[in-house]
Amino acid sequence: MEENAQLAKIKRRLGIASTDTEEDTLLTDLIADAESYFKLLVGVSEIDSKYQFMIENVVYKLYGRKGSEGVTSETVDGYTVTYQEWDNLFKPYMKILDKDFGIDGSLRQKGKVRFL
- In tens, the pLDDT along 22-80 reads 999 999 999 999 999 999 999 999 999 999 999 999 999 889 888 666 566 777 788 87
Alpha-carbon gap, residue 71 to 113, rounded angstroms: 48
This prediction's pTM: 0.78
What is the residue extent of each domain of the chain?
3-101
Rounded alpha-carbon distances, angstroms, from residue 22 to 18, 42, 56: 10, 32, 19
The confidence score (pLDDT) of residue 111 equals 55
- Residue 105 pLDDT more than 70? yes
The confidence score (pLDDT) of residue 30 equals 96
**Contact partners, residue 90, CB within 8 Å, separation at least 6:** 37, 38, 41, 54, 58, 97
The three-state secondary structure class of 75 is strand
pLDDT band at 15 (very low <50, low <70, confident <90, very high): very high
The three-state secondary structure class of 55 is helix
